[in-house]
Chain A
Amino acid sequence: MAQKRKRKKSLWQRGKENKKLQAALTILLPAFFGILLLALWQGEVLHMVFHTDSYTLPLPTKIGSILTDNLNKIGENTIATVSVASIGLVLGSLLGYITAVLAACFPKLGRGGLSIIGAFASLPVVAMAPVINNWTKDVSNEASVRSMVAKVIVVMLISAANMSLNAYRGLTELEPYASDLMATYAAKKSVVLVKLRLPNSVPYIFVALKVAVPASIMTAIVSEYFAEYITGVGRQIRENIVLAQYATAWAYIATACLLGIISYVILMIVQSILLRKYH
């Protein structure tokens, strides 16, 4: 009986080769992990690990109930933060894009200018926010308007730096021979800009936005810490902790996290619609 017997594969091995199972695992494993984490939190095991109590680290159910109880107030603060982040993002991106176009038109001076902008992009928000606060003291007599302007400017500067750097790459790193082709057509500079450079930069705009959208929310939250007028999700986190209302603070933290995730999802949807013809 020289018949070769195929060794039966172990369950582990078979599982590894089953594509359906693997695909299901990519979703199931993280979901399971998340549920486990929540369960440990609810069961106060996390508190033991971090040596803390359910007062500073309230249970998820408590946070949830506070979140639903204070929906109106949280909504107000969320609108304050979102409006700062989105106005700043839009204005900043426009400004950054215009800067990039100017830099691409005058490359000799532009490239150097962008390297300076690149350096300023790593400027800490903590240093910028109070300075801008001081500068906008005279904008309005209303503290709410003043603070709003200051916060918007900070977010604007951060997203402008990011956008200009990325858009400049999009405007200058063209397909090989594309600019040569334009040269053989004897195309004017303005035509090259409109027909070649601007369309080429569109995907790079989204590359910039993917960094800028989470960054603008983060910047809005941080600049709220320094603002005169007390409003916004970030400021509420801080105020509530000062008052030792940890559960409320956690509710605002949950809101901030949701904001980050939702805005990113919206960006992804917009991108997939707008960039369809590029793929």
Chain B
Amino acid sequence: MKKKLGNLFDKKWAAPVFWMVLLIAAWEVGASVTAINKRTPENIMPHLYQIMEAAFSSKPVANGMSAAAVVLTSAGATLGRALCGFLLGTALGFLLALFMKLSGFVEKLMFPYLMLIQLIPVLGLAPIILAITGDINKSRIVIAAILSFYPVATNTLAGFKSVNKDKYDLMYTYAAPKRVIYTKVFIPSSVPYFFTGLKIAAPMAVTASILVDTLQGDGGLGCMLSQSLKHAMSIYVFWLIVLFSAFIGISSGYLMSWFETLVSPEKRCVKKSGMRREKRSYGTETKKKKILVAEREGK
């Protein structure tokens, strides 16, 4: 029996599932304890089934909409803008990296600022951007764009720089024009780095967009979150938003990995033939790479 149990944990999915179950169990125990000790347990730690119940109940909480409808409509407003900003920031970041690679002048000019912006708490700027743009939708887009701009730019630039010299020399012996060198060598080999940047940027764009919501009451997840916290509507809306934003934050990273395998055939191949030497958890890989890149360029 014990051996069987041991074998079970050799499976890849077994350990995460074990921890998830443990976590849910711990939450439920905590919820039961607070239910006994506190006057308003739903403010502190409701049972998970209560949250689910709230998600599926059709009882109107605000403006005649059910809790799930409130969350989904406000999520549409928030995430749509986050996506806009994310795409804009990504495009700008990629272009800047390309320009920096093409011209040493631009690189010298911009590189210190690219390093500097990573150290600045950009989320702290959210209120002032709201004040400058004067429009919540615009400021959502701008903040999400800034936050996704610099991880993409630094990582893509590192990707351009990581190109093997042999490859470049080969293209040189072919007398390939610059345009071909870029489309055939530089851009393809920067793809994994580019996606590393995206994986860092995606959850940040979501966080930023929700945070901007909390600053002004005009719909959106963050706005509903703070209203629900102030008991303007059912507190379960708050818990639903917490769960929902956690889900979005976590899945956005995985979504980017999925896109990556979609656009890079070589990765699919390697995965299929089982040549991947070791399974790496995604979080460490991206962060590590980002830092190694920063280190290398710092020197």
Give every chain A residue within 8 A of B17 (Cβ-Cβ): 112
Give every chain B residue within 8 A of A257 (Cβ-Cβ): 119-121
What residue in chain A is nearest B121 (Cβ atoms)?
A: A218
Instruction: Give the CA-CA distance A173 to B128 in the complex, in Å.
Output: 44
Inter-chain contact B284/A119, CB cutoff 8 Å: no
Instruction: Give the CA-CA distance A241 to B216 in the complex, in Å.
Output: 12
Interface presence of B270 (CB below 8 A): no
The prevalent SS among residues of A at the interface is helix
Contact partner of B19 (CB less than 8 A), chosen from A113, A131, A134, A207, is A113
Instruction: Give the CA-CA distance A122 to B116 in the complex, in Å.
Output: 23
Interface 1/0 per residue, A120-142 and B, CB below 8 Å: 11111111001100110100000
Inter-chain contact A211/B283, CB cutoff 8 Å: no
Interface 1/0 per residue, B50-72 and A, CB below 8 Å: 00000000000000000000000
Give every chain A residue within 8 A of B222 (Cβ-Cβ): 126
Cβ of A86 to closest chain B Cβ, rounded Å: 15
Interface residues of B in 5-45 (CB under 8 A from A): 6, 9-10, 14-20, 23, 43-45
Give every chain A residue within 8 A of B113 (Cβ-Cβ): 30, 33-34
Instruction: Give the CA-CA distance A166 to B280 in the complex, in Å.
Output: 12
Interface presence of B123 (CB below 8 A): yes
Inter-chain contact B245/A115, CB cutoff 8 Å: no
Cβ of B247 to closest chain A Cβ, rounded Å: 10
Of B161-169, B187-195, B202-210, which binds chain A?
Answer: B202-210
Inter-chain contact A109/B108, CB cutoff 8 Å: no
What residue in chain B is nearest A206 (Cβ atoms)?
A: B291
Interface residues of B in 234-268 (CB under 8 A from A): 238, 241-242, 245-246, 248-250, 252-253
Give every chain B residue within 8 A of A218 (Cβ-Cβ): 121-124
Contact partner of A109 (CB less than 8 A), chosen from B9, B105, B238, is B9
Interface presence of A225 (CB below 8 A): yes
Cβ of B196 to closest chain A Cβ, rounded Å: 13
Interface presence of B290 (CB below 8 A): yes
Interface presence of A234 (CB below 8 A): yes
Inter-chain contact A122/B15, CB cutoff 8 Å: no
Inter-chain contact B116/A261, CB cutoff 8 Å: yes
Cβ of B26 to closest chain A Cβ, rounded Å: 13
Contact partner of A124 (CB less than 8 A), chosen from B45, B122, B132, B206, is B206
Classify chain A's interface size.
35 or more
Inter-chain contact B207/A125, CB cutoff 8 Å: yes
Interface residues of A in 29-47 (CB under 8 A from B): 29-30, 33-34
Interface presence of B184 (CB below 8 A): no
Interface residues of B in 94-139 (CB under 8 A from A): 105, 108-113, 116, 118-125, 127-128, 130-132
Inter-chain contact B131/A122, CB cutoff 8 Å: no
The prevalent SS among residues of B at the interface is helix
Give every chain A residue within 8 A of B290 (Cβ-Cβ): 211
Inter-chain contact A122/B249, CB cutoff 8 Å: yes
Inter-chain contact A211/B287, CB cutoff 8 Å: yes
Inter-chain contact B15/A112, CB cutoff 8 Å: yes
What residue in chain A is nearest B252 (Cβ atoms)?
A: A122
Inter-chain contact A207/B291, CB cutoff 8 Å: yes
Cβ of A252 to closest chain B Cβ, rounded Å: 8
Contact partner of B121 (CB less than 8 A), chosen from A50, A124, A221, is A221
Cβ of A39 to closest chain B Cβ, rounded Å: 16
Contact (A115, B10) CB under 8 Å given A165-B287, A241-B131: no
Interface residues of A in 182-209 (CB under 8 A from B): 207-208
Contact (A119, B250) CB under 8 Å given A246-B128, A260-B120: yes
Inter-chain contact A211/B291, CB cutoff 8 Å: yes
Contact partner of B108 (CB less than 8 A), chosen from A30, A111, A121, A210, is A30
Give every chain A residue within 8 A of B45 (Cβ-Cβ): 135
Interface presence of A84 (CB below 8 A): no
Interface presence of A256 (CB below 8 A): yes
Inter-chain contact B245/A217, CB cutoff 8 Å: no
Instruction: Give the CA-CA distance A38 to B130 in the complex, in Å.
Output: 22
Inter-chain contact B44/A134, CB cutoff 8 Å: yes
Interface presence of A249 (CB below 8 A): yes
Contact partner of A260 (CB less than 8 A), chosen from B121, B238, B284, is B121
Inter-chain contact B128/A253, CB cutoff 8 Å: yes
Contact partner of A26 (CB less than 8 A), chosen from B108, B238, B287, is B108
Inter-chain contact B127/A256, CB cutoff 8 Å: no
Interface presence of B294 (CB below 8 A): yes
Inter-chain contact A130/B250, CB cutoff 8 Å: no
Contact partner of A56 (CB less than 8 A), chosen from B14, B124, B132, is B132
Interface presence of A90 (CB below 8 A): no
Contact (A237, B249) CB under 8 Å given A29-B108, A116-B23, A122-B203: no
Inter-chain contact B282/A29, CB cutoff 8 Å: no
Interface presence of A108 (CB below 8 A): yes
Give every chain B residue within 8 A of A119 (Cβ-Cβ): 250, 253, 283
Cβ of A110 to closest chain B Cβ, rounded Å: 8
Instruction: Give the CA-CA distance A124 to B225 in the complex, in Å.
Output: 13
Instruction: Give the CA-CA distance A156 to B106 in the complex, in Å.
Output: 39
Cβ of A46 to closest chain B Cβ, rounded Å: 10
**Interface residues, chain B, with chain A CB atoms under 8 Å away:** 6, 9-10, 14-20, 23, 43-45, 105, 108-113, 116, 118-125, 127-128, 130-132, 203, 206-207, 210-211, 214-215, 222, 225, 229, 238, 241-242, 245-246, 248-250, 252-253, 281-284, 287-288, 290-292, 294
6 shortest A-B CB distances, which residue pairs?
A112-B15, A118-B283, A260-B119, A124-B207, A122-B203, A112-B16
